[in-house]
Structure 1
Amino acid sequence: MQAIAPTPAVISPADDFRRHQAAAKSLRTEPIQNRRARLEKLRAWIHQHRRDIQEAMYADFRKNPTEVDAIEIYHVLAELKHALDNLEEWTLPTKIDAPLTLLGTRSFIQYEPRGVCLILSPWNYPFSLCVGPLVSALAAGNAVVIKPSELTPHVSALIRQMADEIFDGAMVSVWEGGPEVSQTLLQLPFEHIFFTGSPAIGKVVMKAAAENLASVTLELGGKSPVIVTASAHVKDAAKRVAFTKFLNNGQTCLAPDYVLVDKTMAADFTKALIEQTQLLFTEKGESFENSAHYCRIVNQKHFDRLHDMVQNALEQGAKIEFGGKMDAASRFIHPLILTGVPLQARLMEEEIFGPVLPVLAYDNLDEALAIVNGKQKPLALYVFVNDKITETRVLEETSSGGACVNDCGVHFMHPDLPFGGVNNSGIGKSHGHAGFLAFSNEKAVMKQRQGFTTANVFYPPYTATVRKMMDWFLKLF
């Protein structure tokens, strides 16, 4: 596929922002059917341009078309369908019953658009993690500015083409470019900023948002652990960990970052993990280098970072159980499974974000939980277990944005589960109704009756009668 030339910008980001502000005023009062029409247009465009999305992803990542369908395209289409199926219900005011102290009032929550929103999307899933939040923003009735990643230029250009073909430029616009474009956009007074990326850049975004007191949704990352307990089904655990870890060459915010496995089954699990990795990402004895099912690292900078992290672990005594081949020219890293990685190694201190997986044996569950809780709260936690007591312990004694029992990453695909991190791994939730709420202001509205109200009883002057009424009133609580 040939790269699509970026459309030259004829206005500045500040001028574009002002266009969006004007559009946002009209969006507040438009019929819900207008939102529906925009979402329908987006869905139709994706179906019509499915091949273009596949080709752009291959050009940027060498990603298999079926994987693009399953991960990038399906997720967005599922979000669209869910929003279209529920849009009227989501936008209806929610009635709130009156407490005893406010008898006679009527209250409801009115869902209004935040206004002009900024979506800063990442490079690892450049279509789904850009257009998915766009679905939520449009469903909530906002005007949107999108800044896709410069590290995936083919997909970014296609996203701009999509916006130009579907939307009025005052409602949705796309700004391509490097960090300097993001920095310029972050100086503008957006009402909401949706960012997906690293915790380090998330802090930069949050600081910029604070200058305008903009609300934020930060989908970050961290070291998502896997705990394989003694009661786990070894083959199932190995297959599901291998799939989620080495999908997209390990460049997934939800990917298992390290595995803690009960020492009684560590050898069996490691063997099964190697076997399942080969079965999933190669066929008929081919090499990973020649496999059509295995991606590449996005650029040289990230390749060098991963290389250095592996060398750091090997210098401290880590052992390679599988893989090890790297080719800088093609940014190829063979799936790499290591044991004996020290806790102070970079692989155990930094988010890996690549096809490298430390597997550590633990003596007892207390030890495993101590390792998990000794790190920042992760985006996800995975536990493989067939024991309710152990399952409950792990879920109650750890904190993470989300969790899966006996699988990895699949909670991302559930439209009714809020997705997001906690503290260092993220702020706010997305997907489905949670995404709609992230891009909405939940305005509390109360309608008071005419004439006498229960509040009148406690108006000043504070006479002896009022004080007696207050004495009686407080006893009700």
Structure 2
Amino acid sequence: MDSYNDSVYEKEIKELKETFNSGKTKEESWRRNQLKNLLSLLVEKEEDIFTALKQDLGKHYVESFRDEVGPLIKSVNYALKGLKKWMSSKKADLPLAAFPATAELVPEPLGTVLIISSWNFPFGLSLEPLIGAIAAGNTVVIKPSELAPASSSVLAELIDTYLDREAIKVIQGGVSVGEQLVQQKWDKILFTGSAAVARKVMTAAAKNLTPVVLELGGKCPAIVDSLSSSWDIQMAIKRILAAKFGTCAGQACIAIDYILVEKKFSSTLVEHLKAVIQSMFGDNPKESSSIARIINKSHFTRLRNLLNEPMVEASIVHGGSLDEDNLFIEPTLLVDPPLKAGIMTEEIFGPLLPIITLEKIEDSIDFIKSRPRALAVYAFTKNEMLKKKLSSDVSSGSLVFNDAIIQYVADSLPFGGIGECGFGRYHGKFSFDAFSHEKTVVRRNYLVDFWFRYPPWNQQKMQIFKSAYRFDYLGVVLVVLGFNKS
């Protein structure tokens, strides 16, 4: 049951806004202290986090550290190192005609912001944007997903214990809580989830003209070229499978959704995939602790229905076994399922991997362009011409050659989508920017004034303006020569 109501929201949000208006979150010392406390939370309570992720998703503690705790520790340290520079103003150029004047861009926090996170990486998708929101000096509400209840509960308890409860709060609850929260007046909302829910978030946010960042999903393709050496093939296969079955069992927005490969190479690819799946998850993957479980029965049923569509089951070449009681789906490979089937039109978000065969690998570009833009495109190739064409012709949130998902853990790179896979970006300094406003500050004195700025207008003033705007240096000369004219 949802434990909050409108009056409680209003009280919580009012307290956050009062805290922000007090000015304390704007101080570097407050921001730095909160980031250090968050770092302590991650280091001291990693076992609690591992336990919650095991309960919710069946994640192995190594996967939990690799994908959530570890990247968060790195991100906090990155923010602590860069905080002073991020907070500093930046000088900006002015046209010479504005002499004498100076200008700067001053980052300031937006105010009170809402972070709505998803269930598949419940700590990472809550705390990664929180790092940027704190660094920027905001007060924050986090609404974690009710579909990962153990993680949501631990997150709420730890944030209340380690961070400033007057400035940072976790509000738990289901769909109705989320719906009520987005109706409130926020200074920004960052939402991670499905496109269907994102539309509802945007509709609610529009009523208050609240800006939003949407981190959504999509079908991320992997192009696999006919690599020449066995080393290259093996390395590519390991990276593909780690980015699919080894990352929350494929329940990730940037997981590989399907593979594009030439027909002549497809059987070789399938055999390599089978062999590496066996080496990663054993002869009976159901007994492996290295593959996560499906989040709940609803999602399990959705994935089973994808496999049960006409002609889809016939395309299975490996795996396909399901255990509803344990929410387990075996890593499954399919070759050329119908392109109009759900498995090729909906985001899979699970351990099912279709392989689509093409006459030549260059056809992959048109195939990808014929579909909605992807959050990420992965290409395993040494073909420099293909790389160049992909870079110039294919629009996506990110493009990675010869690996997958590594872009997500790079603090120096922005993470975000385009089109239906979302808009806005965060990570590292980009998270700070997402929750900041760069205020323009211009300073001028009374020493010089420009007589031609003021009415009454005449042709002489028109000529001066034309010269000033066309040739900035000439405008300054004219100003210097004529500033004292009436």
Q: TM-score, normalised by structure 2?
A: 0.93
Q: In structure 1, how many angstroms separate the alpha carbons of the residues matched to 2:300 and 2:34?
A: 39
In the superposition, relative to structure 1, how do residues 210 and 201 fare at CA in structure 2: closer, same or farther (>3 Å)? same
Change (3 A) 1:316 1:190: same
Are the aligned partners of 1:196 and 1:220 in contact in 2 as well (CA < 8 Å)? yes
Amino acid at match of 2:264: T
Paired position in structure 1 for 2:240: 241
Q: Distance in 1 between matches of 2:260 and 2:97?
A: 54
Secondary structure of 2:256's aligned partner:
coil
Which residue of structure 1 aligns with residue 476 of structure 2? none
Find the residue that maps to 2:305 and give its secondary structure.
Answer: helix
Distance change >3 Å, CA 353–CA 317, structure 1 → 2: closer
Structure 2 letter corresponding to 1:351: E
Deviation by residue 1:227-284 (Cα, 9 ceiling, x = unmatched)? 11234732222111111011211101110111001223211111111212222233xx
Report the Cα offset of residue 217 of structure 1.
Answer: 1.2
In the alignment, what sits opposite 2:458? 463
Greater displacement, 232-241 / 338-347: 232-241
CA contact (8 A) 1:261 1:361 kept: yes
The answer to whether residue 305 in structure 2 is matched with residue 308 in structure 1 is: yes
Q: 1:114 aligns with which of 92, 110, 119?
A: 110
How far is 1:465 from its partner?
1.7
Tell me which residue corresponds to 2:396.
400
Report the counterpart of residue 124 of structure 2 in structure 1. Answer: 128
Q: Which amino acid aligns with 2:267?
A: A
SS of the equivalent of 2:209 reads coil
Q: Distance in 1 between matches of 2:183 and 2:238?
A: 45
Question: Structure 1 residue 426: deviation in Å?
Answer: 1.1
> Is residue 299 of structure 2 the alignment partner of residue 298 of structure 1?
no
Supply the AA of the counterpart residue of 1:463.
N
Change in Cα spacing, 1:269 to 1:303, as seen in structure 2 (3 Å) is same
Cα distance in 1 for partners of 2:345, 2:320 equals 20
Which residue pairs with 2:167 in the alignment? 171
- Could you tell me which residue of structure 1 aligns to residue 253 of structure 2? 253
2:467 alignment counterpart: 472
Deviation at 1:27, TM superposition (A): 3.5
- What TM-score, normalized by structure 1, do the two folds share? 0.94
Please give the secondary structure, in 1, of the residue aligned with 2:420. Answer: coil
How many Å separate the matches in 1 of 2:227 and 2:98? Answer: 54
1:171–1:449 Cα change, 3 Å: same
2:144 to 135, 141, 148: 148
Q: Is the Cα contact below 8 Å between 1:317 and 1:340 reproduced in 2?
A: no
Q: Distance in 2 between matches of 1:453 and 1:402?
A: 50
Partner of 1:207: 203
For the 8 Å contact 1:297–1:331, the answer to whether it is kept is yes
> Does 92-101 or 67-76 show the bigger shift?
92-101
The CA distance in 2 between the partners of 1:470 and 1:289, in whole Å, is 76
- Alpha-carbon distance in structure 1 between the residues aligned to 2:76 and 2:227: 39
1:269 correspondence with 2:266: no
Offset at 1:40?
0.4
Question: Is the 2:261–2:361 contact (alpha carbons within 8 Å) kept by the matching residues of 1?
Answer: no
Aligned match of 2:435 = 439
**Residues 324 and 103 of structure 1, relative CA distance in 2, 3 Å threshold:** same
Taking only the aligned residue pairs, the percentage that are identical comes to 33
Distance 1:299 1:451, change over 3 A: same
How far the C-alpha of 1:470 sits from its partner, in A, is: 2.6
1:49-71 deviation per Cα after TM superposition (whole angstroms, max 9, x unaligned): 11111111111111101111111
Q: CA RMSD in A?
A: 1.9
Aligned equivalents of 2:269 and 2:294: distance in 1?
26
What residue number does 2:484 align with?
none
Structure 1 pair 29–144 and aligned structure 2 pair: CA distance change class (3 A): closer
Query: How far off is 1:208 after superposition?
Result: 1.3
Cα distance in structure 1, aligned partners of 2:23 and 2:38: 17
Contact 2:100 2:448 in 1 (8 A): no
Q: Which residue of 2 aligns with 1:188?
A: 184
After superposition, give the CA deviation of every residue in 1:134-171 in whole Å (9 maximum; x if it has no partner): 11110110000111010111100001101210233220
SS state at 1:364 partner: coil
Task: State whether structure 2 residue 405 is matched by structure 1 residue 409.
Answer: yes
Structure 2: runs of 5 or more not aligned: 473-486
Q: Distance in 2 between matches of 1:179 and 1:29?
A: 30
CA deviation string 1:270-314 (max 9, x = no partner): 1111212222233xx4x11111111100000000000001111x5
Question: 8 Å contact 1:303–1:328 — kept in the other structure?
Answer: yes
- Picking from 1, 11, 16, the partner of 1:15 is 11
Counterpart position of 1:280: 280
**Aligned equivalents of 1:48 and 1:27: distance in 2?**
30
Check conservation: 1:321, 1:338, Cα contact below 8 A.
yes
- Residues 425-446 of structure 1 show CA distances to partners (whole Å, capped at 9, x for unaligned) of 1110110000100010111111
Distance 1:257 1:453 in 2: 63
Q: Does the CA contact (< 8 Å) of 1:143 and 1:171 recur in 2?
A: yes
Question: What amino acid does structure 2 have at the position aligned with 1:25?
Answer: N
Letter in structure 2 aligned against 1:301: S
Q: Which amino acid aligns with 1:291?
A: S
Match of 1:448 among 444, 448, 453: 444
* 1:228 alignment partner in structure 2: 224
Distance 1:207 1:288 in 2: 43
